[in-house]
Structures are given as structure tokens and as C-alpha cells.
Amino acid sequence: MGPLYWVHLAWSDCHKITPRLESILLMALKTLDVSLPPHVFPSRQPIPDAPCVFTDANKTAFGLLVKTPNEPDFHHIETHSGSVQLGELQAIITTLQKYQDTPLNIFSDSKYSVQAATSLPFSVFRPTESQIDQALQALKCLTENRRHPWFITHVRSHQAFRE
């Protein structure tokens, strides 16, 4: 059996622990092989000098536009089969995969995908065989294992400007 991680404890069980039991558990855990994985949660502010990735999708394709301070713009378009939500998730997943070794800013017009990316780390859910669940599981793994600062936010788009 490998090391015990805090994330293996369900939240519903953790909040029931009494203070006395908690101190006993902490003393016991000091003697066990317990390692807490380093984790980088999404920043609340954009990361200065990090690449900015703008994502978008429709029912048949998703795309990324990457802007960096000292390099030419990079475009990536890929087809997919599924819903718009699946395409938006795939765009963020592809971004996190391509830029896993660097700080990163992600801008998406999908509230659904942004909320998923910020709330999935260390959440507990049982994925099914559906494409959406598989994408959410991939997003969960990428966000949990991220080691560099990152920022993600929702931007409004596809709306006419008001005069």
C-alpha cells in the first residue's frame, strides 16, 4: 500500500472528527508514511508574463489562441465529436496538457468549464463511460497534478456591444 494522502479522506467524514480525536490522529499520522502532494490551486489574479490562452469551441471543433510577450501568436484548432460543453472542456484540457511545465493564464467563454476547472481538484465523483465524465476526470487529474501557477477566468463573448 502506498502513502496515505489527506485527499483520500472524504469531506463528509473529515468534518465529523472531534478536536480530541483530531489531535490523536495527527500524532498517529506523524509516525506513518504520510506525504501531502504539492498542489497549486488556480490563482485569483492573472500570472504576470505567463502565456495567455484564449479558448473557444462549437459542436464540431475547439480552438486555442496563445499569446506570449516575446513570441508570435500560436493557433491550435482540433475537431471533436460531442457537445459544445465537451469542446470547451477539451480546449482547457489541451491547454493544460500543452503548458503543464509553465505558468499559465486561461480565458474561456464557458462558465461551465471554468467552474469545473476550479472546483474539480480533490472533489469526489464517480465518472461513468460518458464523454463528459471522461473529460471531467482528465481535467481533474490535470488540475490536481499541476505544479506551476495558473489562472483561469470566464470572459463574456458572442454578444453584441451596446452603444
The enclosing domain of 78 has a CATH number of: 3.30.420.10
Cell of 104: 499559465
- Pairwise pLDDT comparison (17 vs 85), residue with the higher score: 85
Residue 46 located in a structural domain: no
pLDDT in tens, 127-163: 788 999 999 999 999 998 888 999 999 998 766 555 5
3-state DSSP assignment of residue 101: coil
User: Same domain, yes or no, for 29 and 72?
Assistant: no
Per-residue pLDDT, 31: 72
Per-residue pLDDT, 125: 77
Residue 42 located in a structural domain: no
Is residue 103 a contact partner of residue 147, using CB atoms and an 8 Å limit?
no
pLDDT in tens, 91-133: 999 999 999 999 999 999 999 999 999 988 777 878 788 999 9
Place of cell 508514511: 33
Judged against a pLDDT cut of 50, whether residue 12 lies above it is answered with no
- Pairwise pLDDT comparison (53 vs 40), residue with the higher score: 53
Tell me how many domains the chain contains: 2
Is residue 111 a contact partner of residue 154, using CB atoms and an 8 Å limit?
yes
User: Same domain, yes or no, for 93 and 126?
Assistant: yes
Is residue 138 a contact partner of residue 90, using CB atoms and an 8 Å limit?
no
**What per-residue string of b and e applies to 124-138 under the rule 16 or more CB within 10 Å gives b?**
eeeeeeebbeebbeb
Judged against a pLDDT cut of 60, whether residue 2 lies above it is answered with no
Judged against a pLDDT cut of 70, whether residue 42 lies above it is answered with yes
Residue 160 located in a structural domain: no
Residue 69 sits at φ, ψ, to 5 deg, of: -60, -40
Query: In terms of residue numbers, what domain contains 24?
Result: 1-37
Per-residue pLDDT, 38: 64
- pLDDT averaged over every residue in the chain: 82
Q: How far apart (Å, rounded) are the C-alpha atoms in residues 86 and 75?
A: 19
What's the start-to-end Cα distance of the chain, in Å? 63
Q: Span 56-78, mean pLDDT? A: 91
Residue 58 located in a structural domain: yes
User: Same domain, yes or no, for 57 and 33?
Assistant: no
Give long-range contacts, CB 8 A cutoff, 24+ apart: 140-148: 142/93, 142/96, 142/97, 142/100, 143/42, 143/96, 143/117, 144/7, 144/37, 144/39, 145/37, 146/39, 146/40, 146/96, 146/100, 147/38, 147/40, 147/100, 148/40, 148/100, 148/101, 148/102, 148/103, 148/104
